[in-house]
Amino acid sequence: MNKLTRDTPVGTEPVEITLFVNGEERRIAVEPDVTLVDAIRDRLDMLGTKVGCAHGQCGACTVLINGERRYSCITLAVMHDGHHIQTIEGVEDNGQLHPLQQAFIDHDAFQCGFCTPGQIMSGLGLLREGHVQNEDDMREEMSGNLCRCAAYQHITAAIWEVHERQDEPGVRLSEQREELLAAGGRVR
Ligand code: FES
Ligand code: FES
């Protein structure tokens, strides 16, 4: 098996890559055409990240890559050798829900739940970006995450609540943890 380098020829043979997933170093072998979401689900057996459209249209597959929210269905795993990936499995902290996860429960922000991991990851990325000024901004910023159950009002309310609570110690602690994850720190 080839180790991925700048000079690795493009082909069909698996190459070895290293992903830092939720703070854990994971080495996997992937063919060059394997998407990041397929690597996460099929090679790492982490099924929290969903696949809806597989075409960059719905946001179900949203993860954070080096702290930025991205659709993992339209990017190849080999492009992320050495990158830090945060998935929904890395959001809770030793069994304690992240304030945003709790807010989704409190605001009844899901029905079937299929879109929820992507909504939460996108919400986390949005909160970290820190440029949302009001709920209209938030709706616009979340427009890349579709919900077939149309729970939009509740999703917006949940994210806005955490946005408004960001100065509270418990919420801030979680943000620090996320920054650590985004920077590649080990958290467990
Ligand atoms: S599954 Fe990736 S955007 Fe729809
Ligand atoms: S809760 Fe069902 S798709 Fe969003």
Architecture of domain 2-90: Roll (3.10)
Q: Is the CB of 85 under 6 A from ligand 1?
A: no
pLDDT of 167:
76
For the domain spanning 99-182, the CATH number is 1.10.150.120
3-state SS class at 27: strand
Residue 46 and residue 87: Cα distance in Å, rounded?
A: 9
Residue 150 CA, ligand 2 centroid: distance in Å? 7
Nearest alpha carbon, ligand 2 atom 4: 147
Q: How buried is residue 121: exposed, middle or buried, by Cβ count under 10 Å (0-12/13-18/19+)? A: buried
Q: Is the CB of 117 under 6 A from ligand 1?
A: no
pLDDT of 55:
97
Residue 109 CA, ligand 2 centroid: distance in Å? 9
Residue 148 CA, ligand 1 centroid: distance in Å? 13
Give start-end residues of each CATH 1.10.150.120 domain in the chain.
99-182
pLDDT of 166:
84
Q: Is the CB of 118 under 6 A from ligand 1?
A: no
pLDDT of 169:
67
pLDDT tens sequence for the chain (188 residues): 666 666 666 678 899 999 999 999 999 999 999 999 999 999 999 999 999 999 999 999 999 999 999 999 999 999 999 999 999 999 998 899 999 999 999 999 999 999 999 999 999 999 999 889 999 999 999 999 999 999 999 999 999 999 999 877 667 656 556 665 556 544 43
Give start-end residues of each CATH 3.10.20.30 domain in the chain.
2-90
Residue 139 and residue 159: Cα distance in Å, rounded?
A: 10
User: Quick one: which atom of ligand 1 is closest to the CA of 59?
Assistant: 3
